[in-house]
Amino acid sequence: MYLGAESWPDLETYFAEESLALVPVGSTEQHGPHLPEGTDHLIAESLARTAASQSGYLCTPTVNIGVSSHHRQFHGTMWVDPPAFREYMESLARNLTSHGIDRIIFVNAHGGNIEHLREVGRRLHKDGTAYAIEWMWDQSIPDLVDDLFEVNGPHGGPKETAMIMHINNALVHENRLTDARDNGLVDWGPKTGRQFGARTFFDSIENTDCGVLGDQTDATPQKGEELFEAATEQLCKLSEWLAEQDDEELLPHEHV
């Protein structure tokens, strides 16, 4: 069920019977020369709406802009500062609780949002308002991602490229995949951008001229479909698990 397509009497029926909502969250930022700037929010929305359709739970409209200032040197990147993002997401979540929602899954597709969504979850949990958790699609299927791609890349790499190929292949500039690989950073790892244990970069452009990591030429629509179906299955299972939890188990524990 998609909230934006329903009338209020039908939503009243849902809120009377269910207390869980999926909130897709992404970004609008550079994803290299080959992918659209909406890559993250397109992935988040597609996963959330598909999982909602399969599970029967509610999906809200998508939050399209996140914490992305580390990509600001690339044309078109949009962002909000972290405090503003956290306040907005907390306010949005509290809005949902006014209708009876007390379990929220932030269906996230942007790494820069992770710590801030988890902080919002901590705030809501601390005062017993709601149980809100952050879910990142690729972290739900790490073994499959590793199996499909020799060098998957955390940003604009083959896993995101394959996902967009599956969701809307017309948005992928396939004639630029080789340029994205050759002008990006393929050989990255835990030591990339670090010296003596310290992280020595702040912005994406300091590591990669075109803004992406990994080997984009390894992506195919078929791999994207496999990723999408596996991640959707994980999200549906998470939704069912959360919906079945006892209220008391989700509240903060008393001091020992």
- Secondary structure (DSSP) of 105-146: EEEE--GGGHHHHHHHHHHHHHTTS-EEEEEEGGGGSHHHHH
Residue 148 tokens read as 């499909």
> Is pLDDT of 21 > 90?
yes
Q: What's the average model confidence in pLDDT over 130-155?
A: 95
CB atoms under 10 Å from CB of 219, counted, come to 30
Quick one: pLDDT band at residue 1, thresholds 50, 70, 90? very high
Residue 136's domain comprises 3-250
Q: What's the average model confidence in pLDDT over 29-44?
A: 98
Structural domain tally of the chain? Answer: 1
Q: State residue 154's pLDDT score.
A: 87
Residue 256 resides in a domain: no
Residue 150 resides in a domain: yes
Amino acid at 9: P
> Is pLDDT of 4 > 90?
yes
pLDDT, tens digit (0-9, with 9 covering 90-100), for 42-58? 999 999 999 999 999 99
What CATH number did the domain enclosing 195 receive?
3.40.50.10310
Do β-strands 103-108 and 131-136 pair in parallel, antiparallel, or remain unpaired? parallel
> Is pLDDT of 192 > 90?
no
Which CA distances in Å does 35 have to 44, 102, 185, 237?
15, 36, 16, 30
pLDDT, tens digit (0-9, with 9 covering 90-100), for 151-172? 888 899 999 999 999 999 999 9
Residue 90 tokens read as 């907390």
**Dist. CA 163–CA 179, nearest whole Å:** 19
Maximum distance among all alpha carbons in the chain? 61
Amino acid at 217: T
The SS3 assignment for 49 reads helix
**Dist. CA 256–CA 60, nearest whole Å:** 37
Residue 72 resides in a domain: yes
Residue 126 resides in a domain: yes
High-pLDDT (> 90) share of the chain, %: 92
Higher pLDDT, 151 or 138: 138
pLDDT, tens digit (0-9, with 9 covering 90-100), for 198-253? 989 999 999 999 999 999 999 999 999 999 999 999 999 999 999 999 999 999 99
Residue 164 tokens read as 């967009």
Residue 44 resides in a domain: yes
**Dist. CA 21–CA 56, nearest whole Å:** 10
Q: What's the average model confidence in pLDDT over 75-87?
A: 98
Residue 255 resides in a domain: no
Own/partner pairs for 110-115, CB < 8 Å, 24+ apart? 110/25, 110/26, 110/27, 110/29, 110/40, 110/41, 110/44, 110/66, 110/67, 110/68, 111/136, 111/154, 111/155, 112/27, 112/66, 112/67, 112/68, 112/70, 113/25, 113/26, 113/27, 113/66, 113/67, 113/85
Residue 116 resides in a domain: yes
Quick one: pLDDT band at residue 69, thresholds 50, 70, 90? very high
CA dihedral 145, 149, 153, 158 (to 10 degrees): -100
